[in-house]
Amino acid sequence: PGRYYCKFGFTSVHATFLSPASVACRAPAYRFGHVIVEVSSNNVDWSNSKQKFLYGQTLSLSSLVPSTGRVFGGTRVQVYGSNYLPSEPVSCKFGANVSPGTVVGTNLVTCVSPGVTSGGRVSLELAQNGVDFSTSGMAFLYRDLFIDEFYPGAGPMAGGTQVQIRGSGFLNLLSLRCRFDMTVVVATWVSDQEIWCTSPPGVEAEVDLEVSNNNIDFTTQGSKFEYQVNTTIIKLVPSTGSTHGSTFVTITGTNFVNSTALRCRFGLVTTSVTEFRTPTELVCASAPASTGTVSVEVSNNNRDFTASGVSFVYVEPPTVHALLPSSGPTGGNTIVTAVGDKFINTSDLSCRFGEGASPAVWVSVSLITCRSRFSRAGLTSLEVSNNGQDFTTSDVQFLYYEDAQITVIEPSSGPAYSGGTVVLVTGRGFRNTGGLACRFGGLIVP
C-alpha cells in the first residue's frame, strides 16, 4: 500500500498502515479542545467522517488516599489531582496492571487496586484515553499485615486497656488503626512488628480485634479480645500488715477472673495472687513497704487495675520483751501480761502460746494481756500479732507446769483468829519458785 496521512484539524501527519480497516497516527501538538480527524492516502483527498478527537490538559496527580493496600487487591483508592474530565472514562495503572477507574470530579478519581503476586511499591498513574498515562510518580505500596499475638487478651468493659499487638507488616502511617468489633481506634506504631492500641468501651463479650495500615482494609484473622465486667474491691482481711510484707490478705470484691494474668497491687507494687477462691474472693501476699497507708487494687489482666481505694496499713512489727507471769498450769486460763513494743489496739490483736492463738486485750503500746490456753507441760514461746496473722518471732518463753494437787494436810486444824499453825501440805506438782504460796480461804501466805 501507498503512504497514508491523518489530519488533526488543519495539521496533517504521516500514518502507518495496519490493515484495510485501520491505520495508526501520532497526534501532533495542539491546544486544548476538540478537532476533526480525517484520513487520506495522497494528502489531498480526505475522508469526510467528521470524527472528533479531544485534546485534553495533562493529568496531574497530587495525592493518594490510601497510599497502601493489600496484596490481593480490592483497595478503593482516592486519587486527588487536576485536569480530570468527568465526561471521559479513566484508566488506572498500578505498575503494569491497568484497571478501570471512576471520575468523581475534576479533582478526584477513584481506583480499585488489582491483586499482585507479592508486596512492594508500584507507580500509580491515570489515563483518560487508555494510552497516555500521567507521569506524576505517585507510589502505591502493596503490603499485607498480620497479627501474631497480643496482650492482654481481655479488659474491662469501661475500655482504656493498653493492648500490645505483635505481628508483621505494620506501617508508620497516620492511618494505622485497630478495630475492636465495629469500633475503630488510632494505633501507635512502635516497629513494623509491634503496635499499641487502647480498647474503647464495650459490652461483656468476645469481639474481633483486627488491624489496618490504611483505615480501610482490615485483617480478617478473627483474633478475639474479651470484654469483662468491671472488677471492684469491697474489703480486706486483715487490713493491716507488717512492713516486712508476706501478709496473706483475703480480698473480697466482685468479678475476679481465675487466670494467669490475675494480679494484686499494694500501692505501686504488683504481686501474684496466692489463691483464687471464688469470683468474689482471693488471697494475695502483701509486698514489703515502709510504714503508712496504701491502696490495694486488683487486675484481671495485669494491666487494668481497680480504683476502689480500699486501704491497707503497713505497721512496724511488734516485739515481746517479757511475760508476767512467765509460767502457768497446763490447764490454762492464766492471765499473762506481755511487755513489749508497738502493740496496736485492733480487733485482731492476738497472742499465740505455741501453736494456738487467742484474743488479747490491749492496755498500751507496750502492754497487753493474754489468757493462756490448755497445753502440755513444758516451755513454749508466746508471740503476739496485731492483725491475727503476722506474729512476732521474739521467742520469749512461757512455762507450762502440771497443776498442783493436794492429797494430805497435817495438821488439818488449828486455832482460830491467832493462826500461826505450821501446816505440812503433801501432794504433787509443787515447784520451788519465788511465787510458791498457800491460800487459806481468801488469804494467801508464802
CB 220 within 8 A of CB 212: no
Q: Which of 404, 396, 446 is nearest to 426 (CA)?
A: 404
- Report the C-alpha gap between 36 and 55 in whole angstroms: 11
Q: Which of 339, 336, 313 is nearest to 326 (CA)?
A: 336
3-state helix, strand, coil in the chain (%, to 5): 0, 55, 45
CA angle 46, 32, 82 (to 5 degrees): 140
Residue ranges in 134-180 assigned as alpha helix (H)? none
CB 367 within 8 A of CB 337: yes
Supply the pLDDT for residue 343: 94
- Report the C-alpha gap between 224 and 391 in whole angstroms: 47
Supply the pLDDT for residue 57: 76
The whole-model pTM stands at: 0.69
Amino acid, single-letter form, for residue 92: C
214-237 pLDDT per residue, tens: 999 999 999 999 999 999 999 999
Quickly list DSSP for 360-390.
Answer: EEEEETTEEEEEPPP--SEEEEEEEESSSSS
pLDDT along the chain (446 residues), means of 10: 84 89 87 86 89 82 95 95 91 95 96 94 93 92 96 94 97 96 97 97 96 96 94 95 94 95 96 96 96 96 94 94 92 93 93 90 95 91 93 92 85 85 85 79 85
Q: Which three cell numbers stand for residue 75?
A: 483497595
- Report the C-alpha gap between 215 and 221 in whole angstroms: 16
338-357 pLDDT per residue, tens: 999 999 999 999 999 988 88
CB 320 within 8 A of CB 384: yes
CB 339 within 8 A of CB 367: yes
Supply the pLDDT for residue 260: 92
